[in-house]
Structure 1
Amino acid sequence: MPDAKTFPLNAWYAAAWGHEIGRSLAARTVCSRDVVLYRRQDGIVAALEDACWHRLLPLSMGHLQGDEVVCGYHGLVFNAAGRCTYMPAQKTINPSACVRAYPVVERHRLVWIWPGDPALADPALVPDFHWNDGTDWVGEGGTAYSLKCDYRLVVDNLMDLTHETYVHAGSIGDEAITGTPFEVTHTERTATVTRWMIGIDPPPFWAKQLDRPGAKVDRWQIIHFQAPSVIAGDVGVAVTGTGAPEGDRSQGVNGTFLAAITPETETTCHYFWNFVRTFRTDDEALTRAIQRAHVNDGEGVYDQDFTVLEAQQKAIDRNPRLPFYNLNIDAGALWARRLIDRMLEREGGGPALVPSQAAE
């Protein structure tokens, strides 16, 4: 079976947190493209192909000279537009001497890069990630760089939270998730999974945050997917009967899990994550505790996901049967995959090799 491209190029992908990019050279691989990032003296982030025009040494092995990158091999200099401005031992600069410059937008505390056709790089298409701005919602996230799995497996994971019952038992998992109906809606670029669990006992994490011993709760999970790879999950609990399903969450606690998932290669990805909240926003100790609850020396919620996802990728590599078998719980993930495929088809790459068998 021939290989097929699995990620669209004409899209904005997170390449780094803004605080990670300063006056030094930072190497990243985005959609199988090696990129070097740095912050110009005016504060704007630049992104260049990470391979010198001359002998292909990664430019990230060089250094900055003002706003230009000096190759660490023979000293060729490239400006932020990718044009060579200096060649050693000659006055004439070859007019073809340039490297690719990638469109960049810094927004929502992340640096976004467009690996496809630069003429299509509209900043208005940067995914909505406003929860991450650090204003109304508070939280500190992180990144799993070079997570060893296809980025779409992360999308599958977050679009079907029934896995919480088994992978995250003892923290956010609960049998009510698997036993409660859900609804899937979609647009041309988005898919949403909505699940309300009414009158249940809160799982340990949410019981601790709500701090209403013995109270039954209404729990919600409303997961928003933006193609090709950004997810925001509206989650929380409120005391049963206080109006949360009708829109009044004042007797509850509300959080949003955020994921900007960037393909690195066909089988690795970068996972930019955060969990932000609207309760106890001045409690810095709680912010640190929630961060540690997600990634903490292999014991956090996301650590548990990473273990499962990387094991799943190894199994796929050993057993390359297609399609996956799908259940009703996969409906949200299947819609996300369809939206990714439509983007690929518009780019002329044909349908990707993805699980497409309808759930029965």
Structure 2
Amino acid sequence: MFPRNAWYVACTPDEIDEKPLGRQICGEHIVFYRGADGQVAALEDFCPHRGARLSLGQVCEGQLVCGYHGLVMGCDGRTVSMPSQRVGAFPAIRVFPVVERHGFVWVWPGDPAQADPARIHHLFWADSPDWAYGGGLYHVRCDYRLMIDNLMDLTHETYVHSTSIGQKEIDETPVSTKTEGDEIVTSRFMDNVMAPPFWRANLRGNHLPDDQPVDRWQVCRFTAPSHVMIEVGVALAGQGGYHAPSDQKVYSIVVDFITPETETSHWYFWGMARNFNVKDKALTAQIRENQGKVFAEDMAVLEAQQQNLLAFPGRKLLSLNIDAGGVRSRRIIERLVAEEQQAAQPAAAQAA
């Protein structure tokens, strides 16, 4: 269950620098590449000749060449040429709206007429020299909503990430959840605690002591269809916590773009944006490595959870107060999917 009329992160620009990329998104097989003008193109990954995957071909002078019989495909979904063949009657293949912005390539798998680039998630930090970003990509074999549940309830950190970002105060501190239009926000503020290993390292990265009590915060924000931005950080205790001056804290945004592949798998674009020591590339690499290990722990849990859910489809799951963020996020997703299905019914009836 996923909305189709939405912008999803499809890939990062470096993934299409040298060759076409095939990726399944919301059940659609799509090939991404750069055309002759350097702009990103997104087409149905299907050669109209014999159905081969165009992504297994190559890009030659900005044109996509099928690796099976040399058919040349244009960015408009129409066949340009094929060795010794007439191609004028070849059917066009589907073209997907695609935009390169904020360091990501975004695709719209739904109705092209509704694909307004203004609806792409705004990332203020991505275009600012005052912020640094490092991240990665995981292919996760579970329903993308399980990842949203995971990110909107960080109580699991005490147990899943006990050696990095977990601490008992997460369990002991209540979480608040609120709805802001089509966004869900959960927040937790822990005062006068000792920083766990991951945050001790970041304190050192900002030239702050790592052996003093801190005030820690976690503010998770879900934005439909499947984006979760988490404001996280620690400040030396008594300096204002979340609002402490920059020289008394380490503050970051955990970036989570969760792109459905199938009903039981997704692409997880993860990273961290920070506004301290932004020119320190070694620090960026260190944070990325440590964060990657943390998310790998999540992946192991979620993939096993998915297998359990498939094995016991009739089992009812419990919802506690800590699950409120994920539950409300799912309601928004369900509403968007229902609205799309309802809008599609008159068109289907008219076609019949």
Assess same fold via TM > 0.5. yes
**SS of equivalent residue, structure 2 residue 132:** coil
Q: Distance in 2 between matches of 1:262 and 1:290?
A: 23
Kindly report the root-mean-square deviation, in angstroms, between the aligned alpha carbons of the 2 structures: 1.9
The residue number in structure 1 matching 2:266 is 269
1:1-360 mapped onto 2 (5 Å cutoff) = 6-91=1-86, 93-94=88-89, 97-133=91-127, 135-145=129-139, 147-210=140-203, 211-246=208-243, 248=245, 250-295=247-292, 300-321=293-314, 323-348=316-341
Deviates further, 304-313 or 185-194: 185-194
Shift of 1:61: 2.1
Shift of 1:76: 2.8
SS of the aligned residue for 2:270 comes to strand
In structure 1, the gaps of 5 or more residues are: 1-5, 351-360
Cα distance change, pair 169–134 in 1 and its aligned pair in 2 (3 A): farther
Number of residue-to-residue matches in the alignment: 339
Task: Give the structure-2-normalised TM-score.
Answer: 0.91
Higher helix share: 2
More displaced stretch, 180-189 vs 84-93: 84-93
- The answer for unaligned runs of 5 or more in structure 2 is 344-352
Report the AA paired with residue 113 of structure 2.
Answer: A
Inter-partner Cα distance in structure 1 for 2:106 and 2:34: 13
* Residues 44-86 of structure 1: CA deviation (Å, up to 9, x unaligned): 1001100111221111122223332222233332210101222
Which stretch of the first structure deviates more once superposed, 307-316 or 61-70? Answer: 61-70
Give 1:98 deviation, angstroms: 0.8
SS of the aligned residue for 1:223 comes to: strand
Structure 1 range deviating more: 301-310 or 75-84 = 75-84
Are the equivalent residues in 2 in contact too, given 1:78–1:98 (CA < 8 A)?
A: no
The percentage of aligned residue pairs carrying the same residue is 45
Distance in 2 of aligned mates of 1:310 and 1:181:
28
CA distance in 1, matches of 2:56, 2:73: 13
Partners of 1:42 and 1:68 lie apart in 2 by 10
SS for the counterpart of 2:157 is: helix
From the superposition, tell whether residues 339 and 126 of structure 1 become closer, same or farther in structure 2 (CA, over 3 Å). Answer: same
User: What is the alpha-carbon distance in structure 2 between the residues aligned to residue 112 and residue 14 of structure 1?
Assistant: 4
8 Å CA contact retained: 1:263, 1:270? yes
Q: Which runs of 4+ in 1 moved over 4 A?
A: 87-90, 245-250
Distance 1:251 1:67 in 2: 50
CA deviations over 1:241-263 (Å, ceiling 9, x no partner): 21225564541111111011111
Task: Please tell me the residue identity of whatever aligns with 1:333.
Answer: G
The amino acid across from 1:289 in the alignment is: Q
Rounded to whole Å, the distance in 1 between the matches of 2:43 and 2:304 is 33
Corresponding residue SS for 1:315: helix
Structure 1: which amino acid aligns with 2:99? V
